[in-house]
Amino acid sequence: MRKIVIANWKMNPSSLKEAEKIVSGIGTGLKNIKKTEVVLCPPSIYLSKIKKTNKKIYFGAQNSFYEDSGAYTGEISIEMLKQFGVKYSIVGHSERRAFGETNKDTNLKIKKLLEFKITAILCIGESVRDEEHKYFDFIKKQIEEALEGINKNSLNKIIIAYEPIWAIGKNALREATAGEFLEMSIFIKKILSDIYGAKNIEDIRIIYGGSVHPENSLPFIIDGKSAGFLVGRDSLEPKKFLEIIKLTENLS
């Protein structure tokens, strides 16, 4: 299974010039990367301007809307994004969910992305790990509702990013452990196999996100069997982001 490392720049950097610098910094370090997919999700407004310095870099959107056109102030349609070379879109990031994005919204977005043959990066994750382990039910609901009505033939266009909210950002409690990730990805596979059947979910990629740094990424691949990463802060620093990509590549 091809591994993938995705950059989520969030609302950064502040200038187009800086964005171009980061893309070219990442591009120059990808010479020996052959087996790992590299996806950059910049703020959408930069997509039309950023030069693709390397054909190994793919672009993604951080968010997209499920309607084709109309009176939806502030939204960007998937058709619009596609014209700027977008091949992936993050769906249901916890920072979008905090603004009110529901599981139903993630479902509609995934369906629309699939219509346009764009890969959906579905983010799921609990805000706390309660002692009664209710977070497993929470994750199950996020997956079941996001994938409702989605056909097994579309699974190769869906990536699941497990990003516990408590592990995201500079105020994170800590990153998850590789063991916690492995346990969760087994649980996710069980949910998927209950819906689609075990043989149909072999190729679905489950990746980890939340305070990924070069220093902590290795165990997620080796012990956690992660298919890759969704990286926030460190994806804005080419040197660190490239280190994460190289570590992933070397273990592919």
Task: Note whether 59 and 87 are within 8 A (CB).
Answer: yes
The reply to whether 185 sits near ligand PGA by the rule CB under 6 A is no
* C-alpha torsion sign, points 79, 80, 85, 88: negative
Q: Which of 37, 93, 101, 126 is catalytic?
A: 93
Active site residue 93: yes
State the nearest-atom distance from the C-beta of 8 to ligand PGA, in Å: 4
Q: Judged by CB under 6 A, does residue 210 bind ligand PGA?
A: yes
State yes or no: residue 8 binds ligand PGA (CB under 6 A): yes
Q: Which of residues 145-164 bind ligand PGA (CB under 6 A)?
A: 163
Which neighbouring-strand residues pair with 5? Answer: 38, 229
Residue 163 falls in the annotated catalytic set: yes
* 231 scored as a contact of ligand PGA (CB under 6 A): yes
User: Given the complex with ligand PGA, which of 33 and 230 has the nearer CB atom?
Assistant: 230
168 binds ligand PGA per the rule CB under 6 A: yes
Between 214-222 and 238-250, two packed helices, what is the crossing angle to 10 degrees? 20
C-alpha count within 13 angstroms, C-beta hemisphere, residue 164: 19
Question: Are the CB atoms for 43 and 20 separated by under 8 Å?
Answer: no
* Alpha-carbon span 165 to 180, nearest angstrom: 14
The residue ranges that bind ligand PGA (CB under 6 A) are 8, 163, 168-169, 172, 209-212, 230-233
Q: Which residues are catalytic?
A: 93, 163
